[in-house]
Amino acid sequence: MAAQSPALPAAPWSPPRRQASLRYFLHRYARNRMALFGLWVITLVAFAAVFAPRVAPADPTKPDFGRLLAPASREHLLGTYDLGRDLLSRVIYGARTSLLAGVVSVGIAVAVGLPLGLMSGYYRGRLDDFLMRLTDALLSFPFLVLALAIAAVLGAGLWKAMIAIGIVFTPGFIRLSRAQVLSERERAYVEAARARRARRTGGSSGGTSCPTASRRCWCRRRWPWPQRSPRRPR
Amino acid sequence: MRRAFLAVAVLVVLLAGLASAQTPRRGGILRAGLDADPPNMDPHQSIAAVDRQVFQNRYDKLVDVNQNLEIVPMLATSWTISNNGRTYTFRLRPNVVFHDGTPFNAEAVRYNFERMLDRSFASPRRSEILLVEKVTVVDPQTVQIDLEKPFSPFLSVLSDRAGMMVSPTAARRLGRDFAREPVGTGPYRFVEKRPQERIVLERFDRHWDRSAGYVDRILYRPFADEQSRLANLLAGELDIINIPPATEVPNLKKDARVKMLEREGLGWQGVWLMVNGTPFNNRALRQALNASIDRRTLARVVFGEVVTPANGPFPPGLLGHDSGPNNRIPERNLDLARAKLREGGQPNGFSFTLKIVPGRQEQQVGQIIQSMAGEVGIRVNLEIVEFGTMLSQISPPNHRFEAARLGWSGRPDPDGNIYGFFVTGGGLNNSNYSNPRLDSLLDAARILTTADLRRRAYADIMNILNEDLPYMFLWWPKDYKPMSPKLQGFVHVSDGMMRFRNVWLNP
Amino acid sequence: MTRYLTQRLLLTIPVLFLVSIIVFTLINLIPGDPALLMAGGEAGQDVVEALRKQMGLDRPLVVRYAIWLGRVVRGDLGKSVRDGRPVLDVLRLKLPVTIQLAAISLLVSWCIAIPAGIVAAWKRRSVVDYTATTVALAGVSIPNFWLGIMLLYLFAVNLRWLPPSGYVEPWVNPIRSLERMVLPATVLGTALAALVMRLLRSSMLEVLGTEYVRTAQAKGLADRRVITRHALRNALIPVVTVMGLQLGGLLGGAVITETIFAVPGIGQLAVQSILTRDYPMVQGVVLFSAVAIVFVNLSVDIIYSLLDPRIRLVEARS
């Protein structure tokens, strides 16, 4: 086996105190007004999506050809669409598709991209080289080629589109989480932890992931969501 | 008395103004906005409709069509049809040269036909002139073309790409690469093309019509986005554009910044129904779907006033339009639709997939069909398919679809709007429709020489098509040309082609 | 460093190889026959067959790939199936356009994002911060095509301050060239800036909370110096990553913006060649895009090590 050359050996890891960190997280979250506002918006959208048939005032697909592009009225709170359909109902039903598409495509990208990026950044060497060249290759495809090919193989439809978008997002997440690890792994606390564990376990390296960085990276995951800082600067 | 004098004075001033507006000016660069980048500049290889826009000014055709779609002389000054419509003898215009100096004569015409018919050259024109049996050079100024059998749309075919003459010298030298360095006899010669950026033409000083070609140069620029194309016209960056956004047409008619020309188009639009597989192999179900559609509402809602509701392949202005069954727009009839569903053995309705190409209007059309058919229990699944994929899926011999939304840009002779689409085994017969009686009528319409007889044949054909419904004709598009008020002398022909040989730019 | 660079450059070759194989496979998976698209429906079957033969499409995929690869190795990217134009010539026309647009867009983005991000983090929870954050949110949310059409109508149609479309080579007329880049670069730049600004702000906030910044502050260094000398360097690492991704994306072509402003760049070329199944052209575009991305990512990795010397450029050993 070819030797890699990580700058430092990887260290085993003991789980952090989950409860404490969760409580801390919630405490910080509740104090951030922007975050709470965001939470409300998301909740509202999710609510509309789940209860669309009950919330929507009209059938979103039913056209009214006598009323094209009508202004807001009591009957149509946001007016009508170009085919005379109720705009508010379409927005409410549209939340279903948008939410699903957003969550699934980004979910795919994170689920695949994050662990790969973490491994790449932590182990460096051959693995890093391989993964980075793979992302180079993926990043250079025109989206349309991928989308058309995926549609051709899987067939058309929302789920396929979500998979296609997820695949397109993945290389970006790989590179981003790798960059995070690169800057994080040189921090004092990581080195301290490494030194401590190394002594305790006799310097054996192992594990297939890098959970410390992973946890930090995950908590401060930066893109494309809004984020917040754990500590307030002076 | 004084008032009369004033009136005369006003009239004189007006007339003077009119006269000055009518005097062509030489010079300037004409900038035209196209709806797409013309992919190929060889008329014998071209398939894209947008190519033809540029060809109009770079090539001369043997004959042209005028505003009434009548055949008029161009490279051929006169012709005779003999031998029961099987022999066409063209008298060619003398002293015509190609842009590379090659003389245009009967020999050149013969070469052009050979080129189009050459199987290995694989010209899309080949199927249009397949009936040509022999091209004979009678003398340098006379050429005789013999057809296998009479073919009344022949001259009309020669008014399009098949009639555009390319330089034999250049074509022999370049082969397929002629598409990059095209040489014709037209009033403008090719200067340069940068893909997706511009095509530049320059006046050809040795053109046979000394008065043609007032502007010095023509600059074509492709704008794939219709809003942006229009904005460029309004901003004064372009002098004329092709295909304005349908929703903007009413505003443009009132806009003082543009001059808007309108004509009935030549094409038809609607939905293919594949008659060789479920569910549409059942004729009653095709009729049920057809009865559930309200064409007038569909046309009004999606396109406003820019289209006409349709029931046949012959739009207003084309021969055959006035044959009764073609222009009798069926009213929506839900009772009939339900009766036809019962007759077809599907009283509770059925479901099918309608393929549409991407685009806002296409989706609207699909959604309206979906909701109209839904009212009688016909469930329509919409599937958006990219154009190239759609073409290969629905074209013969694949026919892999149930219903598909695709139309035709139209030709100046009715035959070009119907024959290949519905004749058994036709290259454009997407629905795989076959009816021997219709075939013989279609062939008869090609042989008949008087308009009246042809009109009668097309009426019979339409009666069959309206009953069998391999295609649901839904609307006929109109053609619009918005242009700068500075652009003068433009003659708007229904084929939508921008002929610039006699236009000029006022300062 | 030299060894690292050589190694990375050598690694480009397998990447390009991989990319070309995947593209070749993918584009052949897409239904749609280039011969049919070229001949049109009204041409007969025999015409389509003849064309297919001329294009070499009657041969098996592997053979076609081998032929193509053999030519590429000799520097010949083949010819467009549409009109026989050499792929390399077309790419040469598009390259300056795309590079110019990408560079100016990126510049616009930095000019907005870097100052805004720093100030927003420095004066956290101030009016400046909230304004910048809100504008950034708007920038991310507004679709490019909408902003593009609006700017087009405002500045080109109504005010007539700027030309609405097109491209002029900078060496032909630098001022007119720049004029035509203003609108598309603004549209692209603002969208990119929004993301970079938010990223920089949060990254700065985090760095400002670390011990070494506190130490620097405790030493009595001025805020400005702490921010520019100490904090910014570290905060830039994730930002540089995103900028790299953005630049890669821009070099691959900004289709929507190019279409609205009729900028004849790589994006429009890519889309048109895919839609017409111009296989050699698609291959050429993707290869170019792959080379661009490899170089951008290489630069990003080198910038990492410049920003934080502890991040070493690690060579693989065998």
State how far the Cα of B368 lies from the Cα of A65, in Å rounded to an integer. 10
Does the distance separating the beta carbons of C33 and B41 come in below 8 Å?
Answer: no
The answer on pLDDT for A186 being more than 80 is no
ipTM: 0.88
Q: What's the DSSP call for residue B206?
A: T
B32: phi then psi, degrees, rounded to nearest 5:
-115, 135
Name the pairing type of β-strands B29-34 and B259-264. unpaired
DSSP H helical ranges for A67-157: 87-123, 125-139, 143-154
3-class secondary structure for B75-91? CEEEEEEECCCCEEEEE
- Match 């070469």 to its residue by tokens: B111
A chain contacts of residue B368, beta-carbon cutoff 8 Å? 63, 83
Per-residue model confidence (pLDDT) at position A12: 39
What digits encode the pLDDT tens for the residues C236-245? 888 888 898 8
Q: Is A125 within 8 Å of A5 (Cβ atoms)?
A: yes
- Match 């049109």 to its residue by tokens: C40
On average, the pLDDT of chain B sits at 91
- For the segment B292-308, the average pLDDT, to the nearest whole number, is 91
Q: Give the model's confidence band at A210: pLDDT under 50 very low, under 70 low, under 90 confident, else very high.
A: very low
What digits encode the pLDDT tens for the residues C178-214? 999 999 999 999 988 988 998 898 888 888 877 777 7
Residue type, B179: A
DSSP H helical ranges for B89-194: 106-117, 154-158, 168-174
Q: Is B315 within 8 Å of B475 (Cβ atoms)?
A: no
Nearest to B364 among A62, A83, A152 (CB): A83
Residues C168-191, buried b or exposed e (16+ Cβ, 10 A)? beeeeeeeebeebbbbbbbbbbbb
The answer on pLDDT for A6 being more than 60 is no
Ordered DSSP codes for B174-223: HGGGGGTS---SSSEEEEEEETTTEEEEEE-TT-SSTT---SSEEEEEE-
Structure tokens at C89: 């010539």
Does the distance separating the beta carbons of C26 and A145 come in below 8 Å?
Answer: yes
Q: What's the DSSP call for residue B119?
A: G
3-class secondary structure for B329-377? CCCCCHHHHHHHHHHCCCCCCCEEEEEECCCHHHHHHHHHHHHHHHCCC
Cβ contacts of B507 within 8 Å, gap of 6 or more: B25, B486
Nearest to C314 among A3, A124, A149 (CB): A124
Per-residue model confidence (pLDDT) at position A218: 38
The answer on pLDDT for C172 being more than 50 is yes
What digits encode the pLDDT tens for the residues B240-289? 999 999 889 999 999 999 999 999 999 999 999 999 988 999 999 999 99
The answer on pLDDT for A226 being more than 50 is no
Does the distance separating the beta carbons of B386 and A148 come in below 8 Å?
Answer: yes
C chain contacts of residue A129, beta-carbon cutoff 8 Å? 11, 316
Q: Is A122 within 8 Å of A213 (Cβ atoms)?
A: yes
- Match 């032929």 to its residue by tokens: C67
Among A2, A109, A100, A116, CA closest to A52: A100
Residue type, B151: F
- For the segment B46-56, the average pLDDT, to the nearest whole number, is 90
Does the distance separating the beta carbons of B367 and A84 come in below 8 Å?
Answer: no
Among A73, A173, A72, A65, CA closest to A117: A173
Per-residue model confidence (pLDDT) at position C41: 64
Q: Is B125 within 8 Å of B162 (Cβ atoms)?
A: yes
Rounded to a whole number of angstroms, the distance from the CA of B426 to the nearest CA of chain C is 8
Rounded to a whole number of angstroms, the distance from the CA of C13 to the nearest CA of chain B is 29
Name the pairing type of β-strands B471-483 and B307-309. antiparallel
What digits encode the pLDDT tens for the residues A145-177? 777 777 777 776 778 878 888 888 898 889 888
* Percent of chain B predicted with pLDDT > 90: 74
Q: Which residue of C has its CA nearest to B45?
A: C39
Nearest to C29 among A7, A153, A228 (CB): A153
CB contact A229 to C (< 8 Å) = yes
Q: Which residue of B has its CA nearest to C48?
A: B122
Does the distance separating the beta carbons of B385 and A61 come in below 8 Å?
Answer: no
State how far the Cα of A222 lies from the Cα of A214, in Å rounded to an integer. 13
- For the segment C96-114, the average pLDDT, to the nearest whole number, is 93
| DSSP3 helix / strand / coil % (chain C, rounded to 5) | 75, 0, 25
- For the segment C279-305, the average pLDDT, to the nearest whole number, is 87
State how far the Cα of C64 lies from the Cα of C73, in Å rounded to an integer. 14
What digits encode the pLDDT tens for the residues B76-130? 999 999 998 899 999 999 999 999 999 999 999 999 999 999 988 888 898 889 8
Residue B243, CA distances (Å) to A116, B34, B43, B224, B483 in order: 49, 8, 22, 11, 11
Rounded to a whole number of angstroms, the distance from the CA of C302 to the nearest CA of chain B is 36
Burial-class residue B396 by CB neighbours within 10 Å (0-12, 13-18, 19+): middle
CB pairs under 8 A between B and C: 151
Per-residue model confidence (pLDDT) at position B148: 94
Start-to-end Cα distance in chain C: 18
Q: Is B154 within 8 Å of B88 (Cβ atoms)?
A: yes
The answer on pLDDT for A216 being more than 50 is no
Interface probe with A: pick from B294, B296, B371, most Cβ of A within 10 Å: B371
Structure tokens at B203: 């006046």
State how far the Cα of A152 lies from the Cα of A164, in Å rounded to an integer. 11
State how far the Cα of B458 lies from the Cα of B326, in Å rounded to an integer. 8
